[in-house]
Structure 1
């Protein structure tokens, strides 16, 4: 005859995965009920892609512009993909703020939901949204005449880089939202970080034409890591060492930001 253990085992990895899938599905269903949100998020990047692609197409003829093969549209596409991922993920924390305001978060904390799954689900939802938006941007670029010698593997790397970038900034956004609990603070920090990070990268311009200090700062910029990996993979004669190195930096940063988000969630839970 067996007796029950006085210390039952806590939720295991299978519970974490199952709860993450369920909670991510909740977020995606909410997003599916508001498709206009995804469409609106694509309007600006598509305008950049088509307008800037035509307006600055002669830039590739400037002395020192080293990525001119294939035209400016091919050069610009990876930058616009990463800009889309950056701007969307910087607002990811609003999901937490809405749940806090509506009392959903309190109900979740009193439910059997795995606490880790509550963090993972928001990041998974943002990753799926980024994946869809990135595919649309690449499709628009191809329809506009861009051709990518890297083919399907290059597009795959571009999507992976965009998702990793989205994980970095969605985790950071979640942490800010949980620690401050203020929409105004999240907006201020998002505005303060996204535009400088975009322009301190090669998203829209070859860094060899920029001041030297911009290139130095870009070396520590996750947006630049993502753009470089994607652009290298989409071009001809891909240097896979460069691609994998930059993807590795993005993955390590995403892990660090994820841990920060977990700590912020614990801090919120302890104060709730």
Structure 2
């Protein structure tokens, strides 16, 4: 357990030590929130779908958690390049403990960034049904963070250098975000697109936050379905990440 705590604390310290990283992590969320939230607001309202700022805020929060958590797993590449991974793997602790510590650390950092963006959303005009519901939405954020930290760990364990990083961005991370319904409603979509969005686990995380913060009017699925999918897929990806990490060769 001490190894898990040390690795969790290392990831947390690495994030909180850099103020520039904290500020930079707010760049994309602010761009999406302010430019899209206010720019597309009139169009969204004329279409009869309500306030677009209200709709897009959970999507922006979900985006922040997604990018931060999955990149924490891909951080294995940096550790491999600078030799820290080798030092960690030869330590007298199990690889499972190392994987759990890194995953929890990455998920915690993602949650902190998600919390910062939530505060920014509230300042920008996002108004949940009740502020007391934010801790429940925080639970959905935690599930998203753990799920995609496990996915990042599985992917990062199989990459040998940074050349594959751009491929992961273009062909996995960005499609996961844009097909999640973060920026558009998942109702009345073309059949093919409807099937694809339902296969995206992030769709259920963002929809779960909308269910909690805004009510059923802004959501697509039942809250129980959102929770079930996130827990089930998260468990599978954590097992996959642990297995892939156990196969890393020094």
Q: Structure 2-normalised TM-score?
A: 0.90
Q: CA offsets, 1:166-219, max 9 Å, x none?
A: 222222222222122221213312321122222222211112354332222211
Query: Are 2:38 and 1:54 equivalent residues in the alignment?
Result: yes
Query: Are 2:18 and 1:34 equivalent residues in the alignment?
Result: yes
**Maintained 8 Å contact 1:158/1:233:** yes
TM-fit CA distance, 1:236: 3.9
Q: Alpha carbons of 1:190 and 1:163: their partners in 2 closer, same or farther (altered >3 Å)?
A: farther
Q: Distance in 1 between matches of 2:149 and 2:226?
A: 19
Partner of residue 153, structure 2: 174
Partner of residue 198, structure 1: 177
Partner of residue 87, structure 1: 67
Q: Distance in 2 between matches of 1:244 and 1:35?
A: 38
Q: CA offsets, 1:47-95, max 9 Å, x none?
A: 2111211101113334463xx2xx2111111110111112222322332
Structure 2 unpaired stretches of 5+: none
Aligned pairs for 1:26-175 within 5 A: 26-63=10-47, 65=49, 68=50, 71-153=51-133, 155-175=134-154
Structure 1 unpaired stretches of 5+: 1-16
Q: CA offsets, 1:67-126, max 9 Å, x none?
A: x2xx21111111101111122223223321222222222222222233212101121112
Q: Alpha carbons of 1:166 and 1:207: their partners in 2 closer, same or farther (altered >3 Å)?
A: same
Query: Are 2:1 and 1:21 equivalent residues in the alignment?
Result: no
User: What is the Cα-based RMSD across aligned positions, in Å?
Assistant: 2.1
**Maintained 8 Å contact 2:11/2:109:** no
Q: Structure 1-normalised TM-score?
A: 0.83
**Maintained 8 Å contact 1:173/1:186:** no
The number of residue pairs the alignment matches comes to 248
**Maintained 8 Å contact 2:66/2:110:** no
Q: Alpha carbons of 1:63 and 1:49: their partners in 2 closer, same or farther (altered >3 Å)?
A: closer
